[in-house]
């Protein structure tokens, strides 16, 4: 891997060399992914499936090859367990509609955690409102880790699904999903894992995890926007109804009755993002060549170095300090009189020095409300980041703090 593989990293911002540390929001793209998009539209663009002409057959082959790469990436049993969607949010909404229509009834319960992104809260809230079901929440311990003992108490004969983030998008904490899955399965409850922040950073084996569903996005793993993945165990996908209707997801249509296509196509209504899938396949190739284990070690080392540097500054709180993390660290800065410096102000001054971080509630308002702050400053790393990036960030942060005191 070379930083020069990522052309945007050579850009300047406000006259300064870009230091990009907002990877939990989206990652930058290697040239081979950018080239893959241009190649598709320049040489073989055609709608996939059913076309007898050459371009359609090439496009279909590229699309299905990408599906196989995704299956291999997460160690699914078969590519028919891989459903292409528009993103993690779309995957969760699709699952909520499909699972909810088939499996949820009045009085039933769904469990999420205090750490969730809005995308893993709102679809389940909407479903519970529609079905007159109840949404329950796994609380946090004092150190901000999930309280698995409390989770045991939440599981009941009415629990129909648990949906939990593998990695917190705010705090970067790696949640104990293996234990959550085991405890849920002991009660016969399926588990959906939100892998948006884990799949790009950790080696994932869905068979070893034994999760029933896994959702994630291409753009957070060096791929294009507009493409997501919904993995589901075949035995679940076989019994769930389609969430959307239209072309491709049908076997036969008449005014009397419609029958549905085989997996995975019964969940993929309309023209799929075949250019995006091809580009994501190239991103997977790029990551696999480096190795996710190597990437995880590199990012873990950077995150530990970052936490150590932040710990040297007075009047600064790192959230969930010392807990296992994947890719992200959140903090807030306080004035000498104890008043919080608004994270937005910190972010603006960092940006003026060419450093890109994320500030705000990070689409996780319940967690931010729990922390009793208006937001946090989040630094998130990727495979192309270096210790020099962290040093440049720290220099910029010290200057920003000095200006805001």
Catalytic residues: 363
CA distance 27 to 7: 12
Nearest to residue 330, comparing CAs of 289, 264, 297, 375? 375
162 in Cβ contact with 189 (< 8 Å):
yes
CA distance 151 to 149: 5
The crossing angle, in degrees rounded to 10, of helices 387-404 and 343-351 is 120
3-state secondary structure 297-362: HHHHHHHHHHHHHHHCCCCEEECCCCCCECCEEEEEEECCCCCEECHHHHHHHHHCCCEECEEECC
CA distance 206 to 232: 9
Residue 359 pairs with which residues in a beta bridge? 377
Q: Is the dihedral of CA 336, 339, 345, 350 positive or negative?
A: positive
Radius of gyration, alpha carbons of the chain:
22
Q: Is 260 left (phi over 0), alpha (psi -120 to 50) or beta?
A: beta
Q: Which residues contact 122 (CB under 8 A, 6 or more apart)?
A: none
Tokens of 3: 């930083």
28 in Cβ contact with 384 (< 8 Å):
yes
């Amino acid at each position: 891997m070379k930083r020069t593989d990522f052309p945007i990293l050579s850009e300047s911002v406000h006259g300064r060399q870009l230091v990009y540390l907002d990877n939990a929001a989206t990652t930058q793209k290697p040239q081979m992914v950018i080239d893959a998009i241009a190649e598709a539209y320049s040489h073989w663009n055609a709608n996939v499936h059913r076309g007898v002409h050459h371009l359609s057959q090439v496009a279909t082959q590229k699309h299905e090859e990408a599906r196989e790469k995704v299956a291999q990436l997460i160690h699914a049993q078969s590519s028919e367990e891989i459903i292409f969607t528009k993103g993690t949010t779309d995957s969760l909404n699709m699952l909520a509609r499909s699972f909810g229509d088939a499996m949820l009834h009045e009085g039933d319960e769904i469990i999420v955690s205090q750490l969730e992104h809005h995308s893993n809260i709102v679809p389940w809230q909407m479903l519970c409102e529609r079905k007159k079901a109840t949404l329950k929440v796994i609380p946090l311990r004092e150190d901000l880790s999930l309280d698995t003992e409390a989770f045991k108490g939440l599981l009941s004969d009415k629990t129909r699904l648990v949906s939990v983030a593998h990695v917190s998008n705010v705090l970067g904490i790696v949640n104990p999903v293996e234990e959550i899955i085991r405890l849920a399965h002991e009660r016969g409850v399926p588990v959906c894992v939100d892998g948006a922040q884990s799949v790009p950073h950790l080696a994932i084996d869905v068979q070893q995890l034994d999760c029933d569903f896994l959702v994630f996005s291409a753009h957070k793993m060096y791929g294009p926007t507009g493409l997501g993945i919904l993995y589901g165990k075949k035995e679940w996908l076989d019994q769930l109804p389609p969430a959307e209707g239209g072309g491709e997801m049908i076997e036969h249509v008449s005014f009397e009755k419609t029958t549905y296509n085989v997996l995975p196509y019964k969940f993929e209504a309309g023209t799929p993002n075949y250019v995006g899938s091809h580009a994501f396949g190239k991103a997977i190739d790029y990551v696999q060549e480096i190795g996710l284990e190597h990437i995880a070690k590199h990012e873990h080392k950077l995150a530990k170095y970052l936490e150590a540097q932040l710990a040297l500054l007075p009047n600064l709180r790192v959230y969930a300090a010392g807990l296992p993390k994947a890719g992200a660290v959140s903090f807030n800065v306080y004035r000498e009189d104890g008043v919080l410096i608004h994270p937005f102000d910190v972010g603006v001054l960092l940006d003026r020095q060419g450093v890109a971080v994320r500030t705000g509630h990070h689409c996780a308002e319940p967690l931010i409300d729990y922390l009793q702050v208006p937001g946090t400053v989040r630094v998130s790393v990727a495979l192309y980041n270096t210790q020099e990036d962290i040093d440049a960030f720290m220099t910029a942060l010290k200057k920003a703090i000095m200006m805001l005191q």
